[in-house]
A and B are shown apart, each in its own frame.
Chain A
């Protein structure tokens, strides 16, 4: 019901170019520096993604003018010409650690990425980041390290596309090899259903009204924060 471009779009199958950022422990301060959190909008974060890495020192956008920026930092992996327009992002372990800022997910999604893939079951993404991604229809996938390496090696070539299919839970790399490299992944059913349908969680939860009310009626008096 939110009218903006982070609206939950259903995710079914997506084909797009791969980009690789092979760094471990990428924290949300790096994904989007704190000063940009002064913005009270939910949109406009795309150009601010990795702002202190993406642009040369001093070149990052003004807080209230995200589109204005200095020169790009040629050293930053995601600035490689072959990665421009990528929608499938491969990242290192413990991605999104640190602050709970959902702005990190908004920045990634608004920069055009639909899928983020990290290595290691339960090690790929930080917990809060993973939840935030799901709430914004950004598909985050953890695959075994060896599979991640295969995908990353293929992606590092540059300009290579992949198809991510949430229904069959597979990633297929279109890099000209026959047969095409294929990696399976798993997303818990509940999350998969929500992504496939793009549900509004709040209206879903409101159907539990009687359970909520029952808890509230049974709560001991000291739980009701009354100041004395």
Chain B
């Protein structure tokens, strides 16, 4: 029977299955400081060990101050970080600690280290684990009880096998557009619940044309469409990324060649069918900006905030609350909305290509008066790569703050956050109320669009700046 990529990876990991429940083997378990302390406590109370500490890897990302990583002034953040250190020591788990050279956002460092491999199952107590699906891995977020379960057993129970949703992206992405515009357009098309109960497989020429960084951006936000995971079949772009010398955990030599042969066989069979299917034409897209409080509330950068009457009745209540929270008048042109803060970073857009795209716009320009712009690399490795390319100087010359690695302003857990009422142009993934700080207002967009907002002080279609 022809099978999809998702079905193949799933089937390989089934240890036991009935119609309603399947026990899956988990090949990689990534851990961070926020969702793990209660899991380690559970193990301790029951006298259990981490079954495969060699497959379990931890880092510190959510709480880290990015102005000075070593100066963790918040006592509770410090306690949480120290708890992870103590737990990793006690249970024998490898920790990529601050200034180890590999610290960073968990979904940035997994691929960098070569831990993320095609055909594997990867979990983490974090919903954006979907990022790793860019390599053709089945990767999804889990809760803390499940973190404990995976630690103790290296397995995970799943209910019914998720449906498979095919998202085909045809055409060629126009100049000035980025992978972020693709995924925002997908979420806008299928809605925040469009992927619930499903795993999305992205395919088509516009996906093939993306780098690994771009594919990670796309898979990262699968969860914003409600999907458990996003997948892209591995190809030569993937193999090249994994063959690089600085991927310590990727297979080497003959093991690598064997693995590649195996990975190639995982692609969706030509006549396999997805349970549902959506097509997006990349060549018709324009830059996307969210206006509201969920990621499907997205419009074209040259468009307007919608009016209630333009929205389907079922969405109006939520939209009315969003107008109020966001402090926006329905019908306002996006290009007329001034911003206070720009955040470039996160597990969605904190990789080297994102920084290059932003630097391209910043070069020779300056952050607008009254605007604060933060550029935060997703990992220590991204940071040193940016240094090697001189990007840091571009940001600094433009008047942006060049930071150390961490989740930073993606969520309000560390010192980088919005003040009530502040409006941000952010390359992160969630524009929920309060996500970047209580009362903060978030608009999601691509790194080059964020840089364009920084230098003009309002949302500006970046193509206008680049065309100059």
Contacts and interface: CB of A to CB of B under 8 A. Distances in A.
Interface of A: 1-3, 22-25, 27, 29-30, 33-35, 37-42, 52, 57, 60, 63-64, 93-94, 97-103, 105, 122-123, 126-128, 131-132, 135-136, 188-191, 201-202, 205-206, 208, 211-212, 215-216, 219-228
A205 B152 CA distance: 9
Contact of A100 (B23, B142, B251): B142
B16 A211 contact: yes
Given A40-B37, A220-B262, A128 B141 contact: yes
B77 A38 contact: yes
A222 to B, nearest CB: 4
Given A2-B42, A3-B45, A105 B143 contact: yes
Given A33-B412, A126-B226, A205-B149, A222 B259 contact: yes
A212 B318 contact: no
B15 A102 contact: no
Nearest to A222: B251
Contacts of B140: 128
Given A3-B45, A38-B77, A220 B258 contact: yes
Interface in B146-187: 146, 148-149, 152-155, 157, 159-160, 162
Contacts of B432: 27, 29-30, 98
Contact of B248 (A35, A205, A227): A227
B422 to A, nearest CB: 14
A189 B294 contact: no
Nearest to B228: A127
Interface string B219-250: 00001001010000000000000000000110
B258 A94 contact: no
Contact of A223 (B27, B145, B252, B321): B27
Contact of A34 (B20, B38, B192, B435): B435
A139 B433 CA distance: 27
Interface of B: 13, 15-16, 18, 20-21, 23, 25, 27-28, 34-35, 37-38, 41-42, 45-46, 48, 52, 54-55, 57, 62-63, 74, 76-77, 79-80, 83, 115, 117, 120, 125-127, 140-146, 148-149, 152-155, 157, 159-160, 162, 192-193, 196-197, 223, 226, 228, 248-249, 251-252, 255-256, 258-259, 262, 294, 314-315, 317-318, 321, 411-413, 420, 430, 432-435, 438-439
Contacts, number: 213
Nearest to A200: B46
B48 to A, nearest CB: 7
B112 to A, nearest CB: 13
A35 B155 contact: no
A188 B159 contact: yes
B15 A211 contact: yes
